[in-house]
Amino acid sequence: MDSTDGSMKTDLVVYVAILVLACIQVFVLKGNLVAMLLVAVIQAFLAVGFFMHLFSEKRSLLLALIPATVFVLMMMNMIWSDSFRLIHMRAFPK
């Protein structure tokens, strides 16, 4: 199947959904970082899946790209404990 198959109607629905989610971020969730990032993840899911047509590509492509990327991004979260330590200027434990 050609990865650009699918209807214009689907594209429009995804377009409107992404904009509505952006408005929710700004007007409802402003200041709540976790909630805003969750909404951003949903927006990214829609963009990757429908705008970039990853869901209509061969499954092996999705499995080759997404888990590795998510793993790398998750591993970057190990910095947070150090940034909390830094704000209190606490020494590293001996």
Partner 1 sequence: MSEANLTMGAHGTAVMEERPFAIPSKKLVMWLFIISDACTFGAMLFAYGYIKNAAADWPHPFETASIMNALLMTFILVTSSLTMLIATRAAKSGDKAKGLRFTYITVVLGLAFAGLHLKEWFGLIGQGVRMFQNPWGAPMFGATFFSVTGLHLAHVVSGAIALTVVALGYNRGRYNADDIEIWSLYWHFVDLVWMFVVPMVYLMNVK
Chain residues in the site for partner 1 (CB under 8 A): 2-4, 8, 11-12, 15, 18-19, 22-23, 25-26, 29-31, 33, 36-37, 39-40, 43-44, 47-48, 51-52, 57-58, 60-61, 64-65, 68-69, 72-73, 76-77, 79-80, 82-84, 86-87
Q: How far is the CB of 69 from partner 1 (least distance, A)?
A: 5
SS3 string, the chain, reads CCCCCCCHHHHHHHHHHHHHHHHHHHHCCCCCHHHHHHHHHHHHHHHHHHHCCHHHCCHHHHHHHHHHHHHHHHHHHHHHHHHHHHHCCCCCCC
7 or 94: CB nearest partner 1: 7
